Structure 1
Amino acid sequence: MAADTADTLFHRITDYAGRPDPYPLYAELREVGVARQEDGSYLVGTYHEITALLHDPRISSDRRNRSAPEEVAAASALPPSFIGLDDPAHHRLRSLAMRPFGPPHTPGRIDAMHGEMTRIVQDLLNDCRDKDRIDVVDDFAYPLPVTAICHLLGVPTEDQPQFSQWADAIVAGFDPTPGEDPKEREHAAQEARQAMGLYLGGLADQRRTRPSDDMLSAFAAGPGEGTDDRLTPLEIMTNSVLLLIAGHETTVNLITNGVLTLLRHAEQLARLREDPALMPTAVEELLRYEPPVQMLPQRTPLVDIEVAGVTIPKGAPLILVLASGNRDPQRFRDPDRFDPTREDNQHLGFGGGIHSCFGAPLARLETEIALTALLQHLHQPRLVEDPPPYRRSPVLRGPRHLLVEEGQAGG
């Protein structure tokens, strides 16, 4: 690749025209390894370098450490959630949020949702039973995760539609497309984040006097009386918003990208339909092959660092392109081949290091249940449009609609 094109890679990767297939651009990035962009940011696209940076304590997730103040979004009424903080603040908040979610303190919460998620999936498929054409996104992949995460947090069913509007606005605020003024999108995202936070904070207040078996009740009760071992009301608001968005948006893309990939690989689809026991391994391969989170655009070196022979200065925007690392031939054999039985699959689909995905066990379980049931439901599926229309975001990449025609309905 010509050196004079490396500094436009981020512009080309985030251009909507490349959304259906960004992987040739990721291959260009891997040829360079580390690419300085016109705006002073740095892209990293090779597996081993990304992995090292994800575990490097010199790399900050707090955008307030950027050297250029214009890179930092305008102040929000809500402080950063733990995903946008460094240790020790990050460790404290993440630990308190994890306590009611999973092991060691609440080891059975996700497993206990298996029956509920199976019921939700079957209800959604029953609603599709008499349709010759379904939209996998709107009819299936979108409602499942939002129902599951709202159930976990304790959000009433009748309030769930409002979350879709808030979530769309918040995700639009993540769009880093160069050459566009992001202020309007960021302002709308901040307003939606604040509205969602106020709503969830209000629910948490109600749970203090009328607790239930949900995470908001656990957050409100807290494990202790000290300021360091319980979430403040503002921290409950901020981190509940994070959990709802992260637990919903990424799983929508994982399920939808999974369906699209399987429909493009008919032999593998048939194999998984005949042997559902392969589904857990197939989900890991989908996380590598078509990850729902393509890049992490908010990392910042706290000191000058050297990566693959390139010095990245303190305070420069650092973008880790996870989806590129997942296709790195230096790490994965035949990386552009979808292989649902692939072994040694330490993908970057859930990130890594201290910020590895909090909700990975839930996302895995939801996707395994969803894809297994959908493959049994669909007998002769055919894509109506390939490639389908994609969502705008290059960070949370997935189809906006995925129309599938069905010759025979069944279950």
Structure 2
Amino acid sequence: MPQASLLRQITDFANRANPYPVYEELRRTPVLHEEEGGPYIISSYYDIEALLHDPRISSDAANLAAAGDDELSQAENTGLPPSFLRLDPPEHDRLRRIANSAFGPPHRPRRIENMRGELGGIVTELIDGFGDARQIDLVDQFAYPFPVTVICRLLGVPREDEPRFRAWVDPLVASLDPGTRQNADADFQKSAREARMQLGMYLAGLVEQRTKEPRDDLLSDLASSRGPDGAMTMMEVLSTAVLLLIAGHETTVNLITNGMLTLLRHPDILRRLREDPGLSVKIVEELLRYEPPVQLVPQRTCIADIEVRGVTIPKGARIWLVLAAGNRDPERFKDPERFDPERGDIQHLGFGSGIHSCFGAPLARLETQVALSELARRLENPRLVEDPPPYRQNAVLRGPRHLNISFDGVR
């Protein structure tokens, strides 16, 4: 049987537990184009970084649909406008500035840092909830509920409504995966559209409440913003809120889970973290390089001819940027296959780069630092039950679906 193309190997679930040999093969052809009408795949660090800053690379959903990726536009066709993640300047910049005025500096410089105590309280409550158990599924009992609780509180979603989000978010996240979309049937597309619609309708009710009775939460700020960029429309507020709910927790679930899996595979570093919680800052940065939750960015289109390493990528072509391959590029990082929190130069691509760099990066960093340091401190002799664990289907947002851990007790 002939070997599958590298494009197919990237999305093949058989490679999900360890995609890095495929990425190593990819880097031998830094600009890969295997199929007529298919994407150009970029896998080297310096090329990815340059393209993420190149204004000739479009994130606009309309350009992606024109390039032939109709499935994604159909999945998002729910009446809500694209989020700023799927727009180009100047409209992207306007919406992102408004959103950032409610989220962080310079307008809310300590909004995230001031949540540190609350984050610690949520983590303590979740670990206490393990009770007398000697084995847990870290995903279901910790890594998923923690960031969901955090982003819901940040936005102002009532706690009793938090469990409803998983039924809405799972099909939306699945629709981002190119492999899933290629094999999707009509029912899958319908479920993704309905989930986004239901989530939007739910949030519309909350935004209406916050417009009348503002509170100290992100939804109130988005609904009432009247800065130099003007105000968001109701539909723009809803689209931004949907983006924050999905992006605000899904990547963090994977970062925490990938992080604990990596630490359990490196018990010496786990022991050091237990003794020195401050090491969590370096550990999280190295995790974002070594096991990034976002493996690739498949939603980019050329709006002009671009030459990369002597290859002309034509106007209208789709581009996939394989961030995880760039993060282990030996041209950029010494001994890239080694997990080393003491790396001195760690300008990774874990949160992307350029105008679309991860909006929630400060929150994701803080959540993961708090989560990993407390798990290391409180779990006695933690160890993996199964290695490799079962993974999610998604090739874009990669992480274990379950991570069963046994331990001797909870401190």
- TM-score normalised over the length of structure 2: 0.95
Match of 1:378 in 2: 379
Is contact 2:223-2:232 (8 Å) kept? Answer: yes
- How far apart, in 1, do the equivalents of 2:171 and 2:184 lie? 16
- Give the one of 23, 28, 34 matched to 1:26: 23
Post-superposition offset of 1:103: 0.3
1:186 is aligned, of 189, 199, 222, to 189
CA-based RMSD: 1.5
Q: How does 1:340-379 map to 2 (within 5 A)?
A: 340-379=341-380
**Is the CA contact 1:300–1:318 (under 8 Å) kept in the aligned structure 2?**
yes
Match of 2:109 among 107, 110, 118: 107
Preserved CA contact (<8 Å) 1:73 1:186: no
Does residue 133 of the first structure (1) align with residue 135 of the second (2)? Answer: yes
Measured against aligned partners, the alpha-carbon deviations of 1:147-197 in whole angstroms (never above 9, x if no partner) come to 000000000000001111111010111121175246543332222112111
Taking the aligned partners of 2:246 and 2:406, their CA distance within structure 1 comes to: 30
Counterpart-to-counterpart distance in 2, 1:297 and 1:117: 32
Establish whether residue 156 from structure 1 lines up as the match of residue 161 from structure 2. no
Structure 2 equivalent of residue 222 of structure 1: 225
Contact 1:46 1:324 in 2 (8 A): yes
Q: Once structures 1 and 2 are overlaid, which stretch shifts more, 266-275 or 111-120? A: 266-275
Indicate whether 1:267 and 2:265 are aligned: no
How far is 1:358 from its partner?
0.3
Q: Which residue of 2 aligns with 1:410?
A: 410
Written as runs of structure 1 = structure 2, the 5 A alignment for 1:233-382 is 233-382=234-383
Q: Deviations over 1:186-243 (max 9, x none)?
A: 332222112111111210110111111001111111125x8x4111100011010000
The letter for the 2-side match of 1:273 is R
1:128–1:250: structure 2 CA closer, same or farther, 3 Å change rule? same
SS across alignment from 1:32: coil
* Shift, 1:361, TM fit: 0.3
Q: What amino acid sits opposite 1:27 in the alignment?
A: E
1:390 aligns with 2:387: no
1:313, CA displacement in angstroms?
A: 1.2
Within the candidate set 33, 36, 48, 2:33 is matched to 36
Where 1:395 maps in the other structure, the secondary structure is: coil
**C-alpha contact 2:67 2:301 (8 A) present in aligned 1:** no
Deviates more, 1:22-31 or 1:268-277: 268-277
AA in 2 matched with 1:259: M
Aligned match of 1:202: 205
Deviation at 1:382, TM superposition (A): 1.4
Q: Where do 1:3-82 residues align within 5 Å?
A: 8-38=5-35, 39-66=37-64, 67-71=66-70, 73-74=73-74, 75-82=77-84
Change (3 A) 1:195 1:283: same
User: What's the CA shift for 1:79?
Assistant: 1.3
**Distance (Å, rounded) in 2 between the aligned partners of 1:181 and 1:140:** 30
1:399 counterpart SS class:
coil
